[in-house]
Amino acid sequence: MSQTATRRHGAHVAPVTDDDARLTARVQVIAEALEIAGDQVDPALVEASLADIARVEERLRLGVGWTVAALVGGTGSGKSSLFNAISGLSFADVGAIRPTTDRAAACVWGGQATELLDFLSVGPHRRIERESMLDADHERALHGLVLLDMPDHDSVAEAHAGQVDRLLPLVDLLVWVVDPQKYADNALHARYLRGLADRQAAMLVLVNQVDTIPRAAVPRVVDSVRSLLRADGLDDVEVLTTSASTGEGVDDVREVLARTVAGHSAAARTAEAEVEAVARRLAVAVGPGEPPAGEAQVAAVTDELTRAAGTDAVAESLRSAATRVRPSAPARPELPAAGTVEAVRGRWLASVTDGLPARWRQAVESDVSPSKDLRAAVGKAVESVPLPEARQPGAIALHLAGLVLAVLGVVGLVLGLTGVLGTDLPGGLLLGVGGGLVALGVGAVVGSRLWRGSHGERVAAGYREDVTARVRDVVRTALAKPTSSVLARHRTLREAVAGTAPQRG
């Protein structure tokens, strides 16, 4: 593991690793995301998650350079004797009359781990430092280990079981010590083992006191223990046989402990498991992703609302008024029907909340404008667009001039024909002038019509664009902006839970 800094625990310097920084950043991201999510996460779930995060943060503040292993067992399992055998010291309580451990004891390899043991609530007089100058090399494989002798989980004193329950989530390697007679104890399996399937890679089961049963019965007992573990969903948990009296299996246990200490940040893995457990619980509070609520969705709703306000009819009346010679009044925009607006808003909500949990759907519905306000805003936006002047005086004048020229041309043609037929009029000249005037008049009339038609199209399109722009602003303000705000908060929590959010380093 790469070291980035150091943190001192008593006489021992525990490394502050990359795991520290990564996990600290992860829990901070989750905590901040929960704050951002607010009421969109069940308050009870938030409270439980923040409590778990606070415990992980406290452990991380102590550093993950220490590996904490705990001997956990019931009354009479012999775990205190085993604790002494593993440490090579006669420190843990070994009861002659009623072998009960009522307070956690700790043996530390490589220092005092004062702050960590304070955090674990191990009393000052229940701690011992294993290494000395004489045996440091012999114990070097366990350097950084904190071995706990836990209170009996089946003690009649509720405080003892409470200590076990509090310390279990903080332990990196759970060493369950069972004796050949009570290994099937229902309290052990029902209260503890069946709920630890996700931690079986960090568990070890010791069938202790095997010297008290016939050698031939040992394999049968071990097989029975393994069968019970499989029933608990703990197929991969290693099982060893031990005896504190004869020393059988003690070296094997020490080897497992050494392997755990040598592993990549065992304490970090425990902290990470706690963080992932929080993330799994929070996963129910978020959807698989954020539904689209961008410009494509805004454009679709804008189109529906502009049509509902009669924009197409007004634009068509403007185009028609611009095309005609005789004046005509254009249509007026109208307030969209309440039912239409409500249906449009409902389709928006269904689209932008698809797949989201109920609390997030409710947040979007609460934050976007109500149908009544949306309808009023659309009506105001449409009314704010002035109706343009559709008629073009120049085009009308050109049309009238064309008619006059055409009439004069016809008169000229008639007079020209008269002159050709025998009057004193210059028939040929009049025919030429009359034909030219008719051609000019027809050209003027056709040009005027094309001018009016082109102007009508521009007026209609311009009006439609202006109204669409105003209504689009309404849709963005009333629907898209509040929706995007909620979805952004959802994305923050979803990415934090998934571990894909940017982490502060």
pLDDT digits (tens, 9 = 90+) for 319-374: 887 787 777 777 888 999 999 999 999 999 999 999 999 999 999 999 999 999 99
Do 108 and 166 lie in one domain? The reply is: yes
The three-class DSSP label of residue 5 is: strand
| Number of domains making up the chain | 3
Do 9 and 109 lie in one domain? The reply is: no
**For residue 50, pLDDT beyond 90:** yes
Q: So what's the pLDDT on residue 2? A: 36
Take residue 449 and report the two structure tokens written for it.
Answer: 């019509």
Residue 8 lies in a domain: yes
- 89, 128 Cβ separation under 8 angstroms: yes
Take residue 352 and report the two structure tokens written for it.
Answer: 């932008």
Count of C-beta atoms within a 10 Å radius of residue 18 = 15
Residue 443 lies in a domain: yes
Beta bridge partners of 69: 147, 173
- Alpha-carbon distance values, 312 to 267, 347, 386 (Å): 68, 22, 15
What are the phi and psi torsion angles at 158 (to 5°)? Answer: -60, -30
Q: So what's the pLDDT on residue 6? A: 43
- Model confidence pLDDT, tens digit, residues 167-178: 676 788 889 999
CA dihedral sign, ordered 211, 214, 215, 221: negative
Do 57 and 157 lie in one domain? The reply is: no
Q: Where is average pLDDT lowest: 173-187, 238-252, 457-471, 475-489?
A: 173-187
- This model's pTM is above 0.75: no
Q: Where is average pLDDT lowest: 146-150, 200-204, 419-423, 441-445?
A: 419-423
How much is the mean pLDDT over the chain? 84
- 262, 251 Cβ separation under 8 angstroms: no
Q: Which residue has the higher pLDDT, 134 or 433?
A: 433
Residue 161 lies in a domain: yes
**For residue 100, pLDDT beyond 70:** no
Q: Where is average pLDDT lowest: 1-10, 171-180, 213-222, 243-252?
A: 1-10
Beta bridge partners of 148: 70, 106
**For residue 9, pLDDT beyond 50:** no
Mean pLDDT for the stretch of residues 69-75: 88
Do 232 and 334 lie in one domain? The reply is: no
The three-class DSSP label of residue 134 is: coil
Do 75 and 133 lie in one domain? The reply is: yes
Residue 188 lies in a domain: yes
- 49, 295 Cβ separation under 8 angstroms: no
CA dihedral sign, ordered 108, 109, 114, 119: negative
Q: Which residue has the higher pLDDT, 263 or 333?
A: 333
Residue 402 lies in a domain: yes
Q: So what's the pLDDT on residue 474? A: 97
Do 170 and 70 lie in one domain? The reply is: yes
Q: Where is average pLDDT lowest: 126-135, 245-254, 386-395?
A: 126-135
**For residue 383, pLDDT beyond 70:** yes
CA distance 348 to 371: 11
- 330, 459 Cβ separation under 8 angstroms: no
Q: What percent of the chain has pLDDT over 90?
A: 42
- 79, 205 Cβ separation under 8 angstroms: no
Do 124 and 259 lie in one domain? The reply is: yes
State which residues form the domain around 15. 1-64+265-285
**For residue 484, pLDDT beyond 90:** yes
Mean pLDDT for the stretch of residues 62-81: 84
Do 174 and 310 lie in one domain? The reply is: no
CA distance 70 to 150: 7
- Alpha-carbon distance values, 462 to 16, 52, 467 (Å): 66, 60, 9
Q: Could you tell me the pLDDT band of residue 265, with boundaries at 50, 70 and 90?
A: low
- Model confidence pLDDT, tens digit, residues 181-208: 888 777 777 777 887 887 788 899 999 9
Strands 12-17 and 3-9: antiparallel
Q: So what's the pLDDT on residue 197? A: 80
Residue 89 lies in a domain: yes
Q: So what's the pLDDT on residue 13? A: 45
CA distance 292 to 374: 21
Do 84 and 58 lie in one domain? The reply is: no
Q: So what's the pLDDT on residue 157? A: 45
CATH classification at residue 187: 3.40.50.300
Alpha helices in 263-294 (DSSP H): 266-282
Residue 505 lies in a domain: no
Mean pLDDT for the stretch of residues 460-468: 91
Q: So what's the pLDDT on residue 156? A: 43
Residue 290 lies in a domain: no
Do 15 and 81 lie in one domain? The reply is: no
Do 124 and 209 lie in one domain? The reply is: yes
Count of C-beta atoms within a 10 Å radius of residue 478 = 20
Q: So what's the pLDDT on residue 355? A: 95
Do 16 and 156 lie in one domain? The reply is: no
